[in-house]
Amino acid sequence: MAEGALASTIVRQVLTKFGSSVWDELALLCTFRADLAAMEAQFATIRAVLADAAVRDWLRRLRDVAHDIDDFLDACHTDLRRGEGGGDCSVCGGLTPRSFAMAHRLRSLRRELGAVAASKDRFSLSPDARPPASRQLPSVPLMRETISMVDEAKTVGRSADKERLMRMVLDAAGDDDDDDDDGVSVIPIVGIGGLGKTTLAQLAFNDRRANDEVFDPRIWVSMSAGFSLATLVQAVHPIVAAPSERCDLATTTTTNLEAIARFLSMAFTGNKYLLVLDDVWSESHDEWERLRLLLRGGKRGSKIIVTTRSRRIGMMVGTVPPLMLKSLSDEDCWELFKRKAFEEADEELYPKLVRIGKEIVPKCGGVPLAAKALGSMLRFKRNEESWIAVRDSEIWQLDKEETILPSLKLSYDQMPPVLKQCFAYCSVFPRNHEIDKGKLIQQWVALGFVEPSKYGCQPVSDKADDCFEHLLWMSFLQEVDQHDLSKKGLEVDGRVKYKIHDLVHDLAQSVAGDEVQIISAKRVNGRTEACRYASLHDDMGSTDVLWSMLRKVRAFHSWGRSLDINLFLHSRFLRVLDLRGSQIMELPQSVGKLKHLRYLDLSSSLISTLPNCISSLHNLQTLHLYNCINLNVLPMSVCALENLEILNLSACNFHSLPDSIGHLQNLQDLNLSLCSFLVTLPSSIGTLQSLHLLNLKGCGNLEILPDTICSLQNLHFLNLSRCGVLQALPKNIGNLSNLLHLNLSQCTDLESIPTSIGRIKSLHILDLSHCSSLSELP
């Protein structure tokens, strides 16, 4: 069950800390030694029975106390590193009041854990006898399919449905008669979750027969977050508004409904448009009528496609009978299943698995997502017993939750614990949210979901990347198709974004339970005292709920909503704080007390400086300040963050960086892209010997690079694209012996390349496109 999986993860995490050298040092304190030894023994006993645990409340108690102990151990770790543990930790004397308080807290936690451990005997729990290897993350196939695979899989079994939809979309689309109330047709696509309603709408939306010459504008709006005119205007505004008009309307809120209504009416009136409203949930007739009045001014032939799970909604909004999407045939599901489950020619090598697979496929219920998830899960198993266990699993006979497919739950149950925790955390994202892979991985690492390799042979970020790739392979995460004109899909720096399918999001919420709380003015989805990861989905009028919830929270996402920053000053165990897009103008000095904080995102906020107390965040690993346009100077306090690994200063208005940036000896990723006022870099940048990536893309006023940049022996990626006034590279650029990728595209003033570049034997990619002043190569 979900509680067992998440409890297993945090117990494993705590046991790992018990075995580390810093806890050996901590155990030398006389007041700590006995309690630590007793707790370690209790955890080891409990961990052995987790897989057979069946008592929900007991697992919740275990998970809560394990989180508390993990927080305590992290606090001890931080204090020891900062010399606050009471002097010399190798002796029993000289303890400070702080140490005595910690010892008292440890004794209290030992009693709580002891009570949980003692109660396990009442449930007749038995140890998990599986070998450790079965709990490990399998290797992703080297030939993992990418976007082309996703596109091909989406079209399986839907050719006839697509043509039927296209006939409805193109019906009377070429008729330019005068505007008419009946000139706008609404085409509902109705079906259960996971059948491919969105895919079918995308196929029609991107069909060349419905291009901009036929429909203008063509607009795609995701309604997953709710039926609101504000949501619609955010999608419509960038497409229909002229650049000179793109001002306050882009941020219009529901408090200005008259302005929104006027804008939408003007945007559609007199135009022959194609509008897709994807994933509509609201059954409010009044809301639909209000929207219909604003959209009815389109020319005859305008079309609105509505995708929904509700037949009632389809009947309410449609001007034509709903297109009822049916389940795929077993043959089509088998096609999807086998693409995931087998490599080429494997079908001939494993005829018995093919036979069992064809017996599993009907259990998918004709749902494409289910077929792909099950196939992905079995890709790594070539013994008949594993396939038979899936075919004969009791989960097919159990009463399932209304929105949770047994096939998806079965795929989740087969995940190793680390992957289960990473997946459950994804429920913190709103439906249809576009996920940045790099940031999600950074958060997993900050929260301790992914353990470092035992022998240090693989960076923890690489292990987290493996987890992401597995979720992507299993279709639990999906790429936003960059060829889909309805989605932006790419960030400013060209990185692909990802989403979670609605059905998978339902599963993530189900398995996360009370640990992940979705906070809104209308509801909170569980026990507030159990909350460890919180997400604010609308502006809060009252802070009472937040005050009670945030005491033990480890991660908080505001998603740009307004809130009182002082709420977090009592969140002593906060590790991830995401305030991107918020309206805060400054951080209070007391933010320095968040000593567990490892990830801080203030991107696109209004801050103009950072307080000196930032330097007290000794555990901070990741700091995002992207698009903080009021931030003109990098505060010196940032340069005192000795454990900082990732610093994102993209699109800030710096003219220069302080020499003290060279103090960031653990910095691995420095992003200065789109800093259009940046003229030069300090010579101290050459001391950043841990730096792997330096991004200077779009620094249009960067005239010269310091020679010391050639001292960065661990630099793998150097992006100088669109540095338009850069005329030359340092002559010793060839000293970058580990450089893999050098991007010089659109460096229009670059006149020459140093001959030393030929010494970089590791270089895989050299991009010199659109370097118009470059006349020859060395």
pLDDT band at 65 (very low <50, low <70, confident <90, very high): confident
What's the CA gap between 676 and 723, in Å, rounded?
9
Percent over 70 (pLDDT), the chain? 73
Structure token digits, residue 466: 């493996």
What pLDDT shows up at residue 544? 66
What pLDDT shows up at residue 88? 43
What pLDDT shows up at residue 582? 86
What pLDDT shows up at residue 579? 93
What's the CA gap between 97 and 303, in Å, rounded?
72
Task: Find the mean pLDDT for residues 489-506.
Answer: 71
* Spatial CA neighbour of 398 closest among 388, 407, 387, 389: 407
Determine if residue 775 is left, alpha or beta; phi over 0 gives left, psi from -120 to 50 gives alpha, anything else beta: alpha
Task: Rounding to the nearest 10 degrees, give the CA dihedral for residues 635, 638, 640, 646.
Answer: -150
CB atoms within 10 A of CB 313: 23
Helix or strand (DSSP H, E) at 492: none
CB atoms within 10 A of CB 439: 19
What's the CA gap between 620 and 638, in Å, rounded?
10
Q: Do 11 and 66 contact (CB within 8 A), yes or no?
A: yes
Cα distances from 250 to residues 17, 233, 241, in angstroms, run: 48, 7, 10
Cα distances from 533 to residues 223, 518, 549, 555, 577, in angstroms, run: 25, 9, 10, 5, 10
Cis peptide before 588 (omega within 30 of 0): no
pLDDT in tens, 141-162: 433 332 222 353 457 888 899 9
Task: Find the mean pLDDT for residues 115-136.
Answer: 56
pTM over 0.85: no
Structure token digits, residue 262: 């006027």
What pLDDT shows up at residue 702? 95
Identify the residue with better confidence: 52 or 651.
651
What's the CA gap between 201 and 48, in Å, rounded?
49
* Spatial CA neighbour of 42 closest among 129, 115, 146, 127: 115
CB atoms within 10 A of CB 501: 20
Q: Do 624 and 600 contact (CB within 8 A), yes or no?
A: yes
Q: How many residues does the structure list for the chain?
A: 778
User: What are the φ/ψ torsions at residue 232 (nearest 5 degrees)?
Assistant: -65, -45
Q: Do 466 and 415 contact (CB within 8 A), yes or no?
A: no
Q: Do 446 and 460 contact (CB within 8 A), yes or no?
A: no
Cα distances from 29 to residues 25, 87, 100, 475, 569, in angstroms, run: 8, 11, 11, 49, 30
pLDDT in tens, 521-563: 555 555 667 788 988 877 655 566 667 677 789 999 988 887 7
Identify the residue with better confidence: 24 or 299.
299
What's the CA gap between 338 and 364, in Å, rounded?
13
